[in-house]
């Protein structure tokens, strides 16, 4: 029998200038394994966007518009990216 292990979640922080925020968020969304994007200035959370697998661009349009507005207001910010790695298949032998 083959079972799947729990997916592994990792976090990454990226320092970025405000004018590059929208481009960076778009790239992260297209990667597909991003679960959540948090935009921070210093240690204060400015915005948090949960992403789900299979989200279509029509649903993301308001999110990207918000990111564009935020980028106009921020000089330096941090993007915290929560990624999910696909679960590894674990083979378990059954005794006969």
Indicate if the pLDDT at residue 1 is higher than 60. no
Which pTM was predicted?
0.70
Which domains does the chain possess? 7-86 (3.30.1490)
Residues 56-92 have pLDDT tens digits of 565 677 778 888 888 877 888 899 999 887 666 555 5
What separation, in Å, do the N-terminal and C-terminal C-alpha atoms of the chain show? 12
Lowest-confidence range among 25-29, 36-40, 91-95? 91-95
Q: With beta carbons less than 8 A apart as the criterion, state whether 15 and 82 touch.
A: no
Residues 69, 71, 72, 74: is their CA dihedral positive or negative? positive
> Residue 32: which of 15, 45, 51, 13 has the closest Cα?
51
């Amino acid at each position: 029998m083959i079972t799947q292990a729990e997916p592994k979640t990792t976090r990454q922080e990226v320092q970025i200038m405000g004018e590059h925020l929208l481009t960076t968020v778009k790239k992260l969304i297209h990667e597909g394994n991003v679960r959540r994007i948090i935009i921070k200035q210093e240690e204060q959370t400015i915005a948090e966007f949960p992403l789900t697998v299979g989200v279509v661009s029509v649903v993301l349009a308001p999110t990207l518009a918000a990111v564009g507005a935020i980028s106009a207001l921020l000089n330096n910010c941090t993007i915290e990216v929560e990624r999910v790695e696909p679960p590894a298949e674990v083979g378990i032998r059954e005794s006969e």
